[in-house]
Amino acid sequence: MLEQRQEVDQDRTGVELFAGGGGLAMAVHRAGFRPLLFNEFAKRACETLRANGAVPVEEGQILPVPGPGEPCPIREGDIRKIDFEYLKGRVDVLAGGPPCQPFSLGGVARGDEDERNMFPEMFRAIRQIEPKAVICENVRGLLRPSFKPYFDYILRELALPFEERDESVTWQEHDAVLRRVLHKGTASAGRRYRVLVTAVNAADYGVPQVRNRIIVVAFREDLSVDIDKFKELVEPRYSEHALFRSMIEGSYWERHPKVPKEVRERVMARIPKELSVPDETLPWRTLRDAIAGIDEQKPLPPIPPKYLDRKERNLGGFTDHIGWPNARIYPGHTPNELDRPAKTVKAGVHGVPGGESVMLLDDGTHRYMSVRETARVMTFPDDWKLAGPRGEKMRQLGNAVPVALGEVFAKAVATVLHGAENK
């Protein structure tokens, strides 16, 4: 992870909570924030972070503050047992995706009643650390009408994290307090955050996957960051229509000259007859793009049918590029198509509803995507090590933030913080 840090003109720091398999942590680091601490509960995800350079610090041991070039410590286990006071005033950005099961369509939909709701711990960390900025990714389920009142409350808590909720107070009662404080404007700027919510499709940010999420970013009000500049920097740069135009004009097929004629004709036949006026967006990236290699990656070799046997063969020198047998397609369980962005990667081994882990090949056959192909769809680099059996690796990827998506927002945060501090 450390070698991926981009050069910046000052030492910026970050903390990653609910780090999972490292997608958002990697994105924040690539944007120039040196990691000071990781926290994660899941055993296999912790193994992944350790395999990529994090150093475990056992409970009871003092958490160090690493200097430039030193490895990042990871405190594994329950976030509720971590005292973050030692990091106060040291952190530029606090990042993390609190567990989304309470809000996901795939979860039990109990919302704030679910004990897995870790937003309160995120707010406690903010109170103790007082970061300049916060980045939080979560599922679109937070925007569902049934959760809208509670989500609005979450945003007000983030705006006023120092207005702490007593355990005996309901969230509705606490929300009423937050509303009054916001209305009166009595909280000092250093204890108040400007909160921005962006609904995103990862495909619009160069990720070869349709993945709808929300990114919540908050800036400490006393910094007076340029919010308009931030919004400009996180505007989508890719589009489906640009993908269609690249196919019509031929540049897409020039990148993939070996696509059979009948496949190309089938894809072209589905392009809308009328497209929007030309714009400056870039083409959506497709599953075929991911497999061929994006940003100087080498192409992944095909997996022959005889190799769909769970055996590691190190095809082409790539790890986790293993064939898996017994993929099925049927109504309601349709495969990914190569010339579209992949479907949303979910936290399952295979056979999850919708066929998200199955891909249709040019010869009309289908198979499960390998872990390495899935990692590319999540824009993880090929040298990122994933720990555990196949199911655990796929789960980590399904729960992660696509690196390319997180990097856009993290770089935008870095840019506006730099601008605010150098006015």
pLDDT in tens, the chain (423 residues): 444 444 445 799 999 999 999 999 999 999 999 999 999 999 999 999 999 999 999 999 999 999 999 999 999 999 999 999 999 999 999 999 887 555 554 444 454 556 778 889 999 999 999 999 999 999 898 888 888 888 999 999 999 999 999 989 989 999 999 999 999 999 999 999 999 999 999 999 999 999 999 999 999 999 999 999 999 999 999 999 999 999 999 999 999 999 999 999 999 999 998 887 767 899 999 999 999 999 899 999 999 999 999 999 889 999 999 999 999 999 888 999 999 999 999 886 444 555 689 999 999 999 999 999 999 999 999 999 999 999 999 999 999 999 999 999 999 999 999 999 987
DSSP 217: E
- Residue 241 half-sphere exposure toward CB, CA atoms < 13 A: 11
Phi, psi of 325 (to 5 degrees): -85, 170
Q: Is 24 among the domain residues?
A: yes
Q: End-to-end distance of the chain based on CA atoms, in angstroms?
A: 32
How far is the C-alpha of 179 from the C-alpha of 184, rounded, in Å? 9
Amino acid at 353: P
Which positions are annotated as active-site residues?
100
Q: Identify the domain boundary among 248, 280, 312.
A: 280
Q: Do residues 215 and 255 both lie within one domain? A: no
- Closest residue by Cα to residue 215 from 231, 193, 228: 231
For CA atoms 119, 122, 127, 133, the dihedral sign is negative
Q: Provide the number of structural domains found in the chain.
A: 2
- Closest residue by Cα to residue 5 from 35, 36, 47: 35
Q: Do residues 220 and 243 both lie within one domain? A: no
Q: Do residues 247 and 198 both lie within one domain? A: no
CB-CB contact of 19 with 46 (8 Å): no
- What is the reported pLDDT for 98? 86
Find how far residue 238's CA is from the centre of its chain. 17
Q: Is 44 among the domain residues?
A: yes
Q: Identify the domain boundary among 257, 280, 303.
A: 280
Q: Is 336 among the domain residues?
A: no
Expressed as residue numbers, the domain containing 250 is: 239-280
Buried b (16+ CB within 10 A) or exposed e, 172-182: eebbeebeebe
CA distances from 92 to 2, 29, 218, 417 (A): 17, 12, 12, 9
Q: Do residues 23 and 76 both lie within one domain? A: yes
Q: Do residues 82 and 93 both lie within one domain? A: yes
Q: Identify the domain boundary among 280, 313, 346.
A: 280
Q: In this structure, how many other beta carbons lie within 10 angstroms of the beta carbon of residue 184?
A: 8
Q: Do residues 152 and 256 both lie within one domain? A: no
Q: Where are the alpha helices (DSSP H) in 147-295?
A: 148-159, 171-184, 227-233, 240-249, 251-255, 261-269, 287-292
Q: Is 12 among the domain residues?
A: yes
- Closest residue by Cα to residue 303 from 292, 294, 316, 293: 316
Amino acid at 69: G
Residue 78 is encoded by which pair of tokens?
């329950």
Q: Do residues 200 and 262 both lie within one domain? A: no
Please name the residue that has the structure tokens 């296999």. 44
- What is the reported pLDDT for 349? 47
- What is the reported pLDDT for 286? 98
Q: Is 386 among the domain residues?
A: no
Q: Is 371 among the domain residues?
A: no
What CATH code is carried by the domain that includes residue 409? 3.40.50.150
- Closest residue by Cα to residue 357 from 335, 339, 372: 335
CB-CB contact of 47 with 388 (8 Å): yes
Q: Do residues 22 and 170 both lie within one domain? A: yes
- What is the reported pLDDT for 318? 95
Q: Do residues 18 and 165 both lie within one domain? A: yes
Q: Do residues 107 and 57 both lie within one domain? A: yes
Q: Is 319 among the domain residues?
A: no
How far is the C-alpha of 374 from the C-alpha of 397, rounded, in Å? 7
β-bridge partners, 96: 17, 136
Q: Do residues 221 and 252 both lie within one domain? A: no
Q: Do residues 46 and 67 both lie within one domain? A: yes
Q: Is 310 among the domain residues?
A: no
- What is the reported pLDDT for 276? 75
CB-CB contact of 32 with 24 (8 Å): no
CB-CB contact of 338 with 349 (8 Å): no
Please name the residue that has the structure tokens 């993290």. 410
